[in-house]
């Protein structure tokens, strides 16, 4: 392999694969990026065998070929180089020389055939979606993923594609994302564009946490559309310059529909940004780890209070109106903050039943998402 | 077809040999039986001789009650005992022996000579037994008491002989046996001769020196200076003993000595109770060093559960567990900042030269080489425990702890077991008396910070070197623990509860534990059959895996009848918070900051150890410095 690349696009491509690479891995080749001359491009790939990303940057290819070298060193070298064209030349199966301006680097990697195969997706349900919508869906769910590794089916986001209900006026299928850590639940959904065709049977796929993190990063690049393929074992997200393929978590996601409260008739609308600010302020003096704050709901106002084991306390009031009986609920401030941060609208609506039951949180102006939050006894 | 019966009565000698296999495993176990007989006979002095690890000779002489000629013969027959007479007696055993098995068993595998004289008789009796053949009693002039001489043990059981260790090993075991029994019986003097040389000489007595001698024998010379004496419990169950400072820990359970009514036994329930009380002052895989005496009415404990009488079964396991745990925890709370203090000089009981193999594994984590090869050591000039307190007249032995036949007389024999009121299990364990505030250690004035990691301070008697991170971490941890103990318990309700399926004994155990769990913030509800759901968790550990928590809990409940799975997890969270919240190594500290740290250490419980049981500071005394420079 011998080729010229521009530093800027090369660095960007290397940036996309950095976090997939496992630093601490028993298989040295997994710390490497696969480089391969491919027509007008330099193809770059990295994998941890569960999540793989392939990307590319334009190149002037003199000789074809390829090898694998340390993804981290390559990235750090290119990052520090001046903005001048780079010459990558392969010597034998494992050596790569990078020349740029007056600088020269000799890297020793591993041969191409050492690199694990990146799976190709076959079949699956394929459709395109706006990058913004998809990013918003991940933003509204990712924080609720469970960190308890013992519950592996909760260590990811559930992706569901349901056909339209037979008796509903809707004609398009919906893509839904769900995440829960058993204390709270996030659900968000969006229509799947009509051209995608019919979803015959409901599709379910649990996307592991690491894949969620990677895809969120890739979606930030601001492309208009993503092509999604939901398969039996894998999912693929394809953008013009890169593709991510992830193995799905095996197992069944719990039946989350059961825990969406239906009888929570007492409604409390609170201006979102002011509430966010209050909760942030109050949480400074909450228990550093358990983060308990109390919301006392009165007919004409909301009183937010907290104390910590050091016997410090804080309190703040907001004007609100509430038709139900006065009640007082404890919450983990972190859970509230995470929800408040991702709600786009002006208002957050609390749907309440009583002090010990789950609370439903929605945006009155948008009906495509909801949060269920279990209170805390404090 | 033959009609000859295939089952035959075993000849008496063979039956004894089979019993011997269980009772007498090695010379030390024979020695244990002989010394226990002497103790049961009310001896005040016991003279022991062994040769070649006890394989050639084991001799135990006592000044106890002795036996008449007829009893002496009977004593050598199986199931002949003076100690119990009825089945009921079996359930209130106040003596160490009760089966009438030891002497005939030993006699069946050795050449045994029994000489004994009743105090009121003018002459004694001698009987010889060779491989189980009991000879005729003959008169013999001797002082009152009994002497049993066992020669060529296992001469007729070559297989067993093969399993004997070297002379040194067996001597080690015998010595350990003597020291252990001595610790359990402070009113009795013990002397041991090994191959003609006196190696142990322990006076009878309960004065401080005698106590130190006994503790030193079992634990090594540095124990007495590095332990806390304690006593507690209530009328029906009294506990007392000595607890090694957490820094004096070991990798195995060799430093654990439990005496139940004077009998040395192993008991994992009590071990667990003590270990739990030490809690995080020790790393998980380390064991504390302690001697603990539990005294209770003989009816409360079944001693007839183990072939060599090394285990017992408490009728009220939970009660005993609670009492031990509270007493130990309460005592440890008084410890303040004391850490391991290496001996200044060799223990003055140098006469008690232990065989090297019997020497307890030195596991002092103060990164010190063994005492003998150590030219200079850093140690902790910690305050002595309140001495006035150490030997309250009643503390050792507590009233009513004299063992032996006299004890039996205290319990009227006619009392049927059922009528003896025994404390009710549900009765709450009274809280331990508020511990005396520990005397504050003097950590001196800070002089400098060394390598950004240690604080060097000068005290009235020498130097102190403090590990700043470890010390600060302990302070923060204790503060957090206290704050959380006093604060309301925040609980997170669970939206999607886990369901755990249990076996029915597990389910029963869990059902019983539900109220205590709820108090700790873990709300578990029955979910039909043997399934349970976890509804609420303490907010601090809301992210833990509840299934795992329940499994750990059941495991502990099964093995020990108690569990700390919840508190342990809470403490682990606090410990991590403490670690993150404390000054790191390599942070520059001003003199004021150092001073503040030292002053807070002086006021913090357990500040002598970090959360992993390592010392947070060491000291070097002026005397040591002088020695270092050859001034002394
Ligand atoms: N040193 C001694 N002084 C006085 N009596 C003794 C002595 N050793 C043994 N005896 C008597 O001999 C009896 C038999 O002793 P042996 O050790 O065989 O049985 P035990 O002590 O009753 O029960 P165990 O088998 O549990 O030890 C004792 O019950 C006691 O009466
Ligand atoms: Mg006996
Ligand atoms: Zn730490």
pLDDT in tens, B163-221: 788 888 899 899 999 999 999 998 899 999 999 999 888 888 878 788 888 888 888 77
Highest mean pLDDT among A325-334, B76-85, B466-475, B548-557: A325-334
Residue-wise pLDDT for A257-266, tens only, equals 999 999 999 9
Residue A357: pLDDT band by 50, 70, 90 thresholds?
A: very high
CA B39 – ligand 2 centroid, Å: 9
Q: Where in chain B is the domain with CATH 3.30.565.10?
A: 12-164
- Residue B565 reports pLDDT greater than 90: no
What mean pLDDT comes out for the span B238-256? 85
Closest to B401 measured CA to CA, from B205, B185, B218? B185
Closest to B378 measured CA to CA, from B344, B336, B345, B338? B344
CA B554 – ligand 1 centroid, Å: 43
pLDDT score at B336 = 67
Q: Is B594 helix (H, G, I), strand (E, B) or coil?
A: helix
**Chain B, nearest residue to A253 by Cα:** B496
| B11, B509, B551, B565 from B503: Cα distances, Å | 48, 10, 12, 20
Closest to B339 measured CA to CA, from B425, B262, B441? B441
Question: How far separated are the first and last CA of chain A, in Å rounded?
Answer: 65
CA-closest residue to ligand 1 atom 17: B102
Would you say the CB of residue B310 lies under 6 angstroms from ligand 1? no
B486, B490, B545 ranked by CB distance to A376: nearest: B490
A150, A310, A356 ranked by CB distance to B548: nearest: A150
Residue B417: pLDDT band by 50, 70, 90 thresholds?
A: very low
pLDDT score at B10 = 60
Residues in contact with B429: Cβ distance below 8 Å, sequence separation at least 6, in sequence order: B234, B319, B322, B323, B326
Partners of B488 on chain A (C-beta within 8 Å) are 378
- Residue B621 reports pLDDT greater than 80: yes
Express as a percent the part of chain B with pLDDT over 70: 79
Q: Tokens representing A41?
A: 């491009």
pLDDT score at B410 = 39
- For helices A71-80 and A7-17, angle between their N-to-C axes, nearest 10 degrees: 150
- Residue B547 reports pLDDT greater than 90: no
Looking at A321-325, B111-115, B214-218, which range is the least confident one?
B214-218
Count contacts between A and B (CB, < 8 Å).
82
Residue B226: pLDDT band by 50, 70, 90 thresholds?
A: confident
Residue A33 CA from chain centroid, whole number: 23
pLDDT score at B379 = 56
With CB atoms and an 8 Å threshold, state whether B545 touches A150.
yes
CA-closest residue to ligand 1 atom 7: B37
What mean pLDDT comes out for the span B471-494? 83
Handedness of CA B93, B94, B96, B100 (dihedral sign): negative
Looking at A47-51, B165-169, B204-208, B426-430, which range is the least confident one?
B426-430
Q: Where in chain B is the domain with CATH 3.30.1540.20?
A: 406-632
**Are the CB atoms for A332 and A358 separated by under 8 Å?**
no
pLDDT score at B488 = 75
Q: What is the CATH number of domain B406-632?
A: 3.30.1540.20
Looking at A81-85, A109-113, B351-355, B446-450, which range is the least confident one?
B351-355
Residue B559: pLDDT band by 50, 70, 90 thresholds?
A: confident
Q: Tokens representing B267?
A: 């008991």
CA B83 – ligand 1 centroid, Å: 8
Class of residue A42 by CB neighbours under 10 A (exposed 0-12, middle 13-18, buried 19+)? buried
State the nearest Cα–Cα gap between A372 and chain B, in angstroms: 8
Residue B159 DSSP symbol: H
A182, A184, A292 ranked by CB distance to B490: nearest: A292
In a 13 Å sphere around the CA of A219, the CA atoms on its Cβ side amount to: 22
What mean pLDDT comes out for the span A296-319? 93
pLDDT score at B341 = 54
CATH 3.30.565.10 is right for the domain spanning B12-164 = yes
pLDDT score at A298 = 95
Question: How far separated are the first and last CA of chain B, in Å rounded?
Answer: 92
- Residue B357 reports pLDDT greater than 50: no
pLDDT score at A162 = 83
pLDDT score at A353 = 94
At the top level of CATH, the class of B208-391 is alpha beta
Would you say the CB of residue B33 lies under 6 angstroms from ligand 1? yes
Q: B156-162 long-range CB contacts below 8 Å, 24 or more apart?
A: B156/B17, B156/B109, B156/B131, B157/B17, B157/B20, B157/B21, B157/B109, B160/B21, B160/B109, B161/B55
**Are the CB atoms for A189 and A368 separated by under 8 Å?**
yes
Q: Is A361 helix (H, G, I), strand (E, B) or coil?
A: strand
**Are the CB atoms for B60 and B38 separated by under 8 Å?**
yes
What mean pLDDT comes out for the span B20-25? 74
Class of residue B434 by CB neighbours under 10 A (exposed 0-12, middle 13-18, buried 19+)? exposed
pLDDT score at B397 = 35
- Residue A191 reports pLDDT greater than 50: yes
Return the higher-pLDDT residue of B152 and B367: B152
- Angle made by CA atoms B478, B480, B483, in degrees to the nearest 5: 110
Residue-wise pLDDT for B521-536, tens only, equals 889 998 888 889 999 9
- Residue A182 reports pLDDT greater than 70: yes
Q: Where in chain B is the domain with CATH 3.30.230.10?
A: 208-391
Tokens 């019966």 appear where? B5
What mean pLDDT comes out for the span A226-240? 93
Return the higher-pLDDT residue of A242 and B529: A242
**What is the rounded distance in angstroms from the CA atom of residue B524 to the CA atom of residue B547?**
11
Return the higher-pLDDT residue of B596 and A57: A57
Among chain B, residues having any CB pair with chain A shorter than 8 Å are 480, 483-484, 486-488, 490-498, 536, 538-540, 542-545, 547-548, 573, 577
**Are the CB atoms for B80 and B100 separated by under 8 Å?**
yes
Would you say the CB of residue B82 lies under 6 angstroms from ligand 1? yes
Partners of B538 on chain A (C-beta within 8 Å) are 290
pLDDT score at A71 = 96
Ligand 1 probe mutation, B36, B37, B47, B405, most atoms within 8 A of CB:
B37
- For helices B546-560 and B268-278, angle between their N-to-C axes, nearest 10 degrees: 130
Looking at B2-16, B231-245, B302-316, which range is the least confident one?
B2-16
Average predicted confidence (pLDDT) for chain A: 92
Residue B337: pLDDT band by 50, 70, 90 thresholds?
A: low
Closest to A35 measured CA to CA, from A124, A120, A96? A96
**What is the rounded distance in angstroms from the CA atom of residue A183 to the CA atom of residue A143?**
12
Express as a percent the part of chain A with pLDDT over 70: 99
- Residue B413 reports pLDDT greater than 50: no
B496, B538, B544 ranked by CB distance to A259: nearest: B496
């Amino acid at each position: 392999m011998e080729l010229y690349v521009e530093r800027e696009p090369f660095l960007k491509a290397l940036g996309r694969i950095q976090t997939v690479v496992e630093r601490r891995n028993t298989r040295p080749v997994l710390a490497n990026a696969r480089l391969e001359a491919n027509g007008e491009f330099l193809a770059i790939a990295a994998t941890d065998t569960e999540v793989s990303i392939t990307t590319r940057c334009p190149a002037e290819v003199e000789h074809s070929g390829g090898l694998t070298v340390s993804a981290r060193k390559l990235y750090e070298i290119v990052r520090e180089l001046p903005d001048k064209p780079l010459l990558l030349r392969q010597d034998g199966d494992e050596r790569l020389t990078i020349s740029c301006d007056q600088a020269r680097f000799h890297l020793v990697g591993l041969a191409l055939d050492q690199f694990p195969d990146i799976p190709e997706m076959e079949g699956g349900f394929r459709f395109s979606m706006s990058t913004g919508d998809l990013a918003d869906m991940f933003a509204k769910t990712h924080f609720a993923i469970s960190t308890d590794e013992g519950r592996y089916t909760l260590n990811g986001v559930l992706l569901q594609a349901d056909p339209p209900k037979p008796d509903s006026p809707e004609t398009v299928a919906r893509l839904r994302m769900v995440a829960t850590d058993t204390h709270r639940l996030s659900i968000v959904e969006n229509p799947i564009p009509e051209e995608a065709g019919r979803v015959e049977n409901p599709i379910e796929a649990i996307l592991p946490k690491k894949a969620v993190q990677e895809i969120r990063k890739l979606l930030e690049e601001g492309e208009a559309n993503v092509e999604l393929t939901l398969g039996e074992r894998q999912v693929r997200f394809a953008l013009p310059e890169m593709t991510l393929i992830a193995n799905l978590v095996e197992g069944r996601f719990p039946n989350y529909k059961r825990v969406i409260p239906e009888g929570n008739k007492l409604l409390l609308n609170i201006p979102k940004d002011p509430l966010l600010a209050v909760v942030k302020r109050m949480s400074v003096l909450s228990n550093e780890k358990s983060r308990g704050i109390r919301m006392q709901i009165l007919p004409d106002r909301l009183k937010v209070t907290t104390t910590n084991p050091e016997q410090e306390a804080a309190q703040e009031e907001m004007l609100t109106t509430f038709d139900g009986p006065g009640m007082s609920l404890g919450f983990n401030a972190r859970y509230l903050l995470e929800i408040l941060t991702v709600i786009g609208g002006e208002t957050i609506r609390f749907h309440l039943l009583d002090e010990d039951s789950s609370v439903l949180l929605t945006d009155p102006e948008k009906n495509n998402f909801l949060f269920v939050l279990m209170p805390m006894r404090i | 077809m033959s009609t000859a019966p295939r089952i035959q009565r075993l000849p008496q000698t063979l039956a004894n040999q089979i019993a011997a296999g269980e009772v007498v495993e090695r010379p030390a176990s024979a020695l244990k039986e002989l010394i226990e007989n002497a103790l049961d006979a009310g001896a005040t002095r016991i003279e022991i001789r062994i040769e070649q690890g006890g394989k050639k000779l084991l001799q135990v002489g006592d000044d106890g009650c002795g036996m008449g000629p007829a009893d002496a013969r009977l004593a050598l027959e199986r199931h002949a005992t003076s100690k119990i007479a009825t089945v009921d007696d079996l359930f209130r055993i106040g003596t160490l022996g009760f089966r009438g098995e030891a002497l005939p068993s030993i006699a069946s595998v050795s050449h045994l000579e029994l000489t004994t004289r009743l105090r009121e008789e003018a002459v004694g009796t001698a009987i010889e037994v060779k491989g189980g053949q009991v000879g005729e009693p003959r008169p013999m002039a001797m002082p009152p008491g009994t002497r049993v001489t066992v020669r060529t043990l296992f001469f007729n059981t070559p297989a067993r002989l093969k399993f004997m260790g070297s002379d040194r090993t067996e001597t080690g075991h015998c010595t350990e046996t003597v020291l252990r029994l001595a610790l359990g019986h402070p009113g009795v003097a013990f002397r041991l001769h090994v191959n003609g040389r006196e190696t142990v000489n322990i006076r009878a007595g309960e004065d401080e020196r005698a106590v130190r001698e006994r503790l030193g024998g079992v634990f090594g010379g540095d124990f007495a200076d590095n332990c806390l004496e304690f006593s507690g419990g209530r009328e029906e169950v009294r506990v007392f003993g000595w607890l090694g400072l957490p820094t004096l820990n070991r990798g195995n359970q060799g430093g654990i000595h439990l005496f139940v009514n004077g009998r040395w036994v192993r008991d994992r329930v009590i071990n667990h109770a003590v270990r739990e009380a030490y809690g995080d002052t020790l790393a998980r895989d380390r064991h504390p060093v302690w001697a603990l005496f539990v005294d209770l009415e003989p009816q409360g404990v079944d001693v007839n559960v183990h072939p060599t009488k090394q285990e017992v079964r408490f009728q009220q396991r939970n009660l005993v567990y609670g009492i031990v745990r509270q007493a130990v925890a309460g005592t440890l709370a008084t410890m303040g900042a004391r850490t391991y203090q290496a001996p200044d000089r060799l223990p003055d009981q140098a006469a008690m030269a232990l065989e090297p193999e019997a020497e307890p594994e030195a596991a002092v984590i103060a990164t010190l080489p063994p005492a003998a090869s150590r030219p200079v050591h850093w140690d902790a000039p910690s305050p002595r425990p309140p001495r006035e307190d150490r030997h309250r007249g009643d503390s050792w032995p507590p009233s009513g702890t004299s063992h032996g036949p006299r004890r039996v007389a205290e319990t009227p024999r006619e009392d049927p077991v059922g009528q003896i009121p025994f404390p009710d299990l549900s009765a709450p364990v009274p809280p331990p008396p508020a511990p005396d505030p520990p005397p504050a250690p003097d950590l001196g004035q800070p002089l400098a910070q060394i390598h950004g990691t240690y604080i060097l301070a000068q005290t009235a008697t020498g130097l102190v070197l403090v590990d700043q991170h470890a010390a600060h971490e302990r302070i923060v941890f204790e503060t957090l623990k206290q704050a959380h103990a006093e604060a309301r318990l925040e609980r997170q309700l669970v939206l999607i509860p886990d369901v755990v399926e249990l076996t029915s004994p597990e389910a029963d155990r869990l059902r019983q534990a539900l109220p205590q769990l709820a108090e700790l913030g873990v709300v578990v509800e029955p979910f039909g059959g043997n399934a349970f759901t976890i509804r609420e968790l303490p907010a601090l550990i809301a992210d833990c895996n509840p299934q795992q928590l329940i499994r750990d809990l059941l495991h502990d409940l099964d093995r020990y009848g108690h569990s700390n799975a919840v508190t342990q997890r809470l403490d682990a969270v606090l410990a991590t918070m403490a670690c993150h919240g404390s000054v790191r190594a390599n942070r520059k500290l001003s003199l004021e900051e150092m001073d503040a740290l030292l002053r807070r250490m002086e006021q913090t419980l357990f500040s002598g150890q970090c959360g992993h049981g390592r010392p947070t500071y060491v000291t070097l005394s002026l005397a040591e410095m002088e020695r270092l420079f050859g001034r002394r």
